[in-house]
Amino acid sequence: MNLIASISVLALLIFFHESGHFLAATLQGIRVSGFSIGFGPALIKKEFQGVTYSIRALPLGGFVSFPDDEQESTISKEDPDLLSNRPIFQRLLVISAGVIANLLIAWLALCGRATFIGIPNQPDPGVLIIDVQNQQSAALSGLKAGDQIISIDGINLGSGQEAVESMVDKIKNSPGQTISIEKDTNGTKGIIKLTPIEHLGVGKIGAQLQVNINGSIRPANGLTDIFYYTNSKFFNLLSKTIQGYKSLFTDFNSTSKQLSGPVKIVELGAQLSGQGASGLILFAALISINLAVLNSLPFPLLDGGQFTLILIEALRGKPIPEKIQLWFMQSGFIILIGISILLIIRDTSQLEIFQQVANK
């Protein structure tokens, strides 16, 4: 059930993203020819009021199509209701509406969580390990996802975001030095030795850290409490997501190992949905923000790439040649499918059931 819930949330977020594009176009009277969830061959297809709605074989996203993109369209190229014939501002609004929709859904999800479920209590002392990379210092020392780090070299880390920052600073400042870590694994405490490796001049252990949230929830104390928590959590998730994508450019070799494909995302959703409605809503907000930031990148096939093409057109004062636009989008599709397949293979091979088979 957790797996089904995770897949359902992911599909719903893609639907909301594409609905943003669709509504931004139709409410401005711009012609739309298709609304699709997924890519590739259509599994289910239905035409209604001139728009073809479909669910396709490759669940790697979705798209809204326009008559402008169809070579066999019977609509005149001079039709004022074609997207390409609308003012720059209207076209930019249609392209950016998917990102806006995902950000709005994330905020509403967090607000609903605070209103109807409650607000998380103050975190427990220490830092929570949520993931470790194979063959890196953390994994080699015996650290595992779910471990709680209480102290380093006998100094308590405290709690909250300050504890995470203290641990990060200690690791960064200790490349090649052995440090003593007190951990708590399901109530069993122990001391391990850990030696951060040097990477770009700072220490690194190959682990993802998080505030040690205990899972307990309290009722919100009015609207002010709800909005304060919602805004704080929303901008915290947004900031961390932006920093994560930024590090792909500044430290690709390290960060690329943390990229997650559809399989890993669904696995994460299944884990969080195991915490009940609260965990599932947090997963929805996190993935919705990730979809928004990812689609903002100026890469082919993503909203950011199309946004960039329109801005270039505005600066040139004339449209970019169709051949260049077609090459730009086709190359992006090939790259997206290639990366997705590689991530699916990698993440599937790392699932526990496959690891057990491989070790037999």
Q: Cβ(144)–Cβ(132) under 8 Å?
A: yes
Choose, from 18, 47, 182, 322, the residue flagged as catalytic. Answer: 18
Q: Is 104 helix (H, G, I), strand (E, B) or coil?
A: helix
The answer to whether 115 and 194 are in contact (CB under 8 A) is no
The DSSP output letter for 114 is I
Q: Is 18 a catalytic site residue? A: yes
d(C-alpha 207, C-alpha 149), whole Å: 12
Q: What are phi and psi of 19, to 5 degrees?
A: -65, -30
Contact present, 30 and 66 (Cβ < 8 Å): yes
> Rounded to whole angstroms, how far apart are CA atoms 206 and 138?
6
Beta bridge partners of 129: 209
Query: Phi then psi for 20, rounded to 5 degrees?
Result: -60, -50
Q: How far apart are CA 41 and CA 227, in angstroms?
A: 43
Mind telling me the catalytic residues?
18
